[in-house]
Chain A
Amino acid sequence: MYNYTQEQLDSMKKVEASRAQRVGAELRRMTAEEKQVLLQNFHPDYIESAYETLQVGVNKGDKVLHELADLLQGKSRVLDMNINLEKVAYDVDVLVIGGGGAGCSAAIEANNKGANVLVVTKLRVGDANTMMAEGGIQAADKPNDSPAIHYIDALGGGHYTNKPELLSKLVCEAPEAIKWLNDLGVMFDKAEDGTMVTTHGGGTSRKRMHACKDYSGAEIMRVLRDEVTNRNIPVIDFAPAIELIKDDEGKVAGAVLMNLETEEILVVKAKTVVIATGGAGRLHYQGFPTSNHYGATADGLVIAYRAGAKLLYADTLQYHPTGAAFPTQIFGALVTEKVRSLGAQLVNKEGVAFMNPLETRDVSASSIIRECKERGNGIKTTDGEGVWLDTPMIEIIGGEGTIEKRIPAMMRMFGKYGIDIRKEPILIYPTLHYQNGGIEISANGMTNIENLYVAGEAVGGIHGRNRLMGNSLLDIIVFGRNAGKEAGEKCKSVKVGKLSLNHVNDFAKELKDAGLNPTEPSPRILPDYRRKDM
């Protein structure tokens, strides 16, 4: 057993004492009004002091978090460089920036179109949030379900702000996405007769969460990466795009890459470009820990914004209700929502289950924050505080062995620190998990800038202002494939003009005119976790 504090041990006893009564007890869901009040008072998106108004660019006048504003209005890394755009290192049809689930899906479909594709990625291909998605992927493929019901669930969860054309595409192409993955060899959890094993996620009205144990994203990512290699699609890793390149007609026509190890600069010329750079958890908005991978620093949003692409809902972030709060070694790491899907309740210091565990993520996170901050019912931890997630309930409800079979990664993650989640509850607190907003696209995947496409977490609008569990793995496949097909088709009719970085200079001038004089290099590329007092 881990070295708990006396307070933690005392509280854990109360959780154990109330467990038998709580199993099987139906917990009330909040009304629409209750949720609204809760969100306004406790959701981090509503903390006005965390935001500032953009002074430059297409979204001038819109509010975004300080950390993002610093980068959107930051200093381009190419300003001090003398880049020869005539010296083209790679001349391709489709450039895919980002090697996660969306990028690989796009690359495969563009390759299907016969396009000459190049994938470039900041770390290794597969180093992405996709790899870490544990819980599952939604698709309305059961007889009691339909894309229309999926649509309503996602729309309500997104507070009716999802772009209808994107959401309808998401739900209608979901079953086909699952089939595509299955046909590539992804091992979904199935019953002996082939029926997909599906569960609820927060905010779903049907059990439509498909999973590959709790390695859902990892399993999908491993297969997509393998498929990219099987098709001999070239991949350049450790080569982030630090700026987009346009041509003399203002259409996007490539990117400037930086070799992260040698700092060599490389020019890529491309007929179409797909940004699939993912999210921004590593910007640690409002000081939150994050469940995201090391490279999640919003680079794609930054370079697209400088090129004139419009952002949508960039002010809204998802704080996953259950980040690990303890032990300190895994502070902020994701505890999959599937733990709640399988029956674990959220329980406070006194052993009371204070909410229905399957509310949407924004509501659940706010409720946990309220329980700790306002009601004083949190349990102190090394890094702050948290509430219990009562994992032993899963074994009582689902039978002995359920945890090992359905959430082995969780069992392993805590087991490494001597915590047996089959026997002991775990401490959790919200962690920065997902960028709800991003770059705006149309149903064809293209932005307001000609020949610039976006897919995956970098897109804004699919999920509105809050995403449901399992709709992200879904969107990277649906919109990744979509962008790949569209970009792979469009490139056939594109003639690239003279390459130019004028938009970067123009943006710098706008910053200066607005009285801003940024010095921090942008995009961020990687966070800096070195000791501060060195």
Chain B
Amino acid sequence: MENKVNIYLFGKKYEVPEELTIMKAMEYCGYKLVRGCGCRNGFCGACATLYRIKGKMELKTCLACQQKVEEGMYVATLPFFPLVKQVYDIEKVKPEQAVMMQLYPEIYSCIGCNACTKACPQQIKVMQYIAYAQRGDFEACAEESFDCVMCGICSSRCPAGISHPQVALLARRINGKYLAPKSEHLENRVKEINEGTFVELIEALMNKPIEDLKELYNHREIEK
């Protein structure tokens, strides 16, 4: 190492090595994280973070575990955001547009400002998937939102008070359960197992001596 840069954690200035992520920079400065730190790999959305570079107007957003520090970075973490999650019974909801109207009517108050999309650290077209949800196009909403880590940054920027990640999750579950084609081979196999088709075969294996099992393993046919 190491070239150093100056960053400002909650307004307080620290000098840190330039190759660190924001999360590692906080630890370098002495923070022992409890909130705002989960998978440390960009999947869990625990480390939603806002920052602004000194002298620039634009407010930027990121996941602290994925973003390198920069000179003059003013950092504020957003370890929790009060998303609204409506409770429903997945067995009873119907894959119809009315579901969105009942559970998340605020999506129809979207003013089209696109602040959600601009804020998404996963580069998801958030406003677009909300538009799909408004139309009851669950499949398109599900596909567009699939990489969502539910960090909540989009909702923190929304003037209409929409909880986008929860809307998307509802759409994905409806899509996965009701709209995606059924897997016949899966249904068949579950039925076979329930009928006891494989019981004897498995029991025979469980009772085989290890040498026989090694023979089976070492000479098994491998699908191309």
**Same assembly:** yes
Instruction: Note all chain B residues with C-beta closer than 8 A to A186.
Output: 176
Q: How far is the CA of A192 from the CA of B24 in the complex (A)?
A: 44
In the complex, chain B residues 13-61 whose Cβ is within 8 Å of any chain A Cβ: 19-21, 24, 27-35, 37-44, 46
In the assembled complex, the Cα of A318 lies from the Cα of B173 at a distance in Å of 33
Interface size on B (CB < 8 Å)? 71
Which residues B100-155 have CB closer than 8 A to chain A? Answer: 122-123, 142, 146-147, 149-150
- The contact of A196 among B46, B146, B185, B206, by CB within 8 Å, is B185
Of chain B, the residue at the smallest CB distance from A293 is B39
Q: Which of B30, B123, B169, B183 has the most CB of A within 10 A?
A: B183
Given A141-B189, A329-B19: A152 and B220 interface contact (C-beta under 8 Å): yes
In the assembled complex, the CB of A22 is this many whole angstroms from the nearest CB of chain B, namely 17
The B54-111 residues at the A interface (CB cut-off 8 A) are 66-68, 85, 87-90
Indicate which residue in B41, B150, B213 contacts A155 across the interface (CB closer than 8 Å).
B213
Verify if A78 is at the interface (C-beta below 8 Å from B): no
A176 at the interface (CB under 8 A from B): yes
Find out whether the CB atom of A160 lies under 8 angstroms from the CB atom of B214.
yes
User: Do A176 and B190 touch (CB < 8 A)?
Assistant: yes
Whether, in the assembled complex, A514 has its beta carbon less than 8 Å from a beta carbon of chain B, the answer is no
Is the beta-carbon distance between B177 and A294 smaller than 8 angstroms? no
Q: Do B44 and A144 touch (CB < 8 A)?
A: no
Asked whether B198 is an interface residue with its Cβ less than 8 Å from the other chain, the reply is yes
Q: Which residue of B lies closest to A200 (CB)?
A: B223
From A146, A164, A187, A196, give the contact of B176 (CB < 8 A).
A187
Q: Which residues of B contact A416 (CB under 8 A)?
A: 66-67
- Given A147-B198, A160-B210, A185-B173: A192 touches B181 (CB 8 Å cut-off): yes
- Residues of B contacting A57 with CB < 8 Å? none
Q: Mark A176-215, 1 if CB is under 8 A from B, else 0.
A: 1011001111111010111110001000011100000101
> Known contacts A155-B217, A412-B122: does B172 contact A141 (CB below 8 Å)?
no
B46 contacts A124, CB within 8 Å?
yes
Q: Of A143, A172, A196, A219, which one neighbours B202 at CB under 8 angstroms?
A: A172
Inter-chain contact A530/B32, CB cutoff 8 Å: yes
B39 pairs with A152, CB closer than 8 A: no
B46 with A408: CB separation less than 8 A: no
Closest to A238 in B: B34
Asked if A195 and B146 sit within 8 Å, CB to CB, the answer is: no
**Known interface pairs A171-B202, A185-B175, A215-B146; A194-B181 also in contact (CB < 8 Å):** yes
| Interface check A493, CB cutoff 8 A | no
Contact A185 B174 (CB under 8 A): yes
B23 and chain A: residue at smallest CB distance:
A529
Complex Cα spacing A194 to B27, Å? 47
Stretch at the interface among A65-73, A223-231, A389-397, A420-428: A223-231
Interface SS of chain B: helix, strand, loop or mixed? Answer: loop
**In the assembly, what is the distance between CA of A261 and CA of B35, in Å?**
9
Contact yes or no, B172 A185, CB < 8 A: yes
Bound Cα distance from A226 to B216, whole angstroms = 42
Whether A168 sits at the interface, judged by CB under 8 Å, is yes
Which residues of the other chain, A, contact B122 by a CB distance below 8 angstroms?
Answer: 412
Is the CB of A148 closer than 8 A to any CB of chain B?
yes
- Residue in A182, A219, A413, A530 whose CB lies within 8 Å of B42: A413
> Do A132 and B41 contact each other (CB < 8 Å), given the known contacts A149-B220, A168-B206, A526-B34?
yes
Cβ–Cβ < 8 Å partners of A206 in chain B: 223
A205 touches B205 (CB 8 A): no
Could you say which residues of chain B place their CB within 8 Å of the CB of A6?
A: none
Say yes or no: is B184 at the interface (Cβ < 8 Å to chain A).
yes
Report how far A530 CA is from B23 CA in the complex, Å.
Answer: 11
Residue A260 interfacial (CB < 8 Å): yes
- Across the interface, do B38 and A205 meet the contact criterion of CB distance under 8 Å? no
- Chain B: minimal CB distance from A260 (Å): 5
Interface residues of B (CB under 8 A from A): 19-21, 24, 27-35, 37-44, 46, 66-68, 85, 87-90, 122-123, 142, 146-147, 149-150, 169, 172-177, 180-187, 189-190, 193, 198, 201-203, 205-206, 210, 213-214, 216-218, 220-223
6 example contacts (A-B, Cβ-Cβ < 8 A) are as follows A149-B220, A152-B217, A182-B186, A185-B90, A294-B38, A529-B32
The 4 closest A-B CB pairs, nearest first, are A185-B173, A156-B217, A194-B181, A187-B176
What 18 new A-B contacts, CB under 8 Å, besides A156-B218, A179-B186, A293-B39? A123-B37, A127-B38, A147-B193, A148-B198, A151-B205, A168-B206, A176-B190, A188-B183, A193-B181, A194-B180, A195-B184, A195-B185, A205-B223, A230-B87, A293-B40, A530-B28, A531-B27, A534-B30
